[in-house]
Amino acid sequence: MKQDTKIVTAGRKAKWTNGVVNPSVTRASTVVFNNVKEMNNALKNKHNQTMVYGRRGTTTSFAFSDAMTELEGGQAVRYTHQVPQRSLTRYCLLLKVAITF
């Protein structure tokens, strides 16, 4: 797959996009569970892209994580809100190039 194609399609898993081209932006701080058992199961799987708490990830951030993993050729991405400026600039430029062409 060409790099330009990879840049615009990475992270498009059906479970994150719900049938649309790109995942919707999900902003949340609190995740609601039906019962304590469901919450405990989510906590046990918090490192497997399971929503537990908004700052730990939503479908939007999971799609972003998958995209970065694919673009970098890694196995997984762990992100924080503190992104080195040069990395952010690099990906903004890559996205600009992909969108421009």
Cα gap 86→84, rounded to integer Å: 6
The pLDDT tens digits of the residues spanning 7-66 come to 878 878 877 777 787 777 888 888 899 999 999 998 898 878 888 877 777 888 888 888
pLDDT score for 41: 92
Residue 78 scores a pLDDT above 80: no
Residue 101 scores a pLDDT above 70: no
Cα gap 34→82, rounded to integer Å: 33
- Domains of the chain are 3-100 (3.40.640.10)
Cα gap 16→14, rounded to integer Å: 5
pLDDT score for 100: 44
DSSP-based three-state secondary structure for 76: coil
The string of DSSP letters for 9-27 reads HTT--HHHHTTSSSPPP--
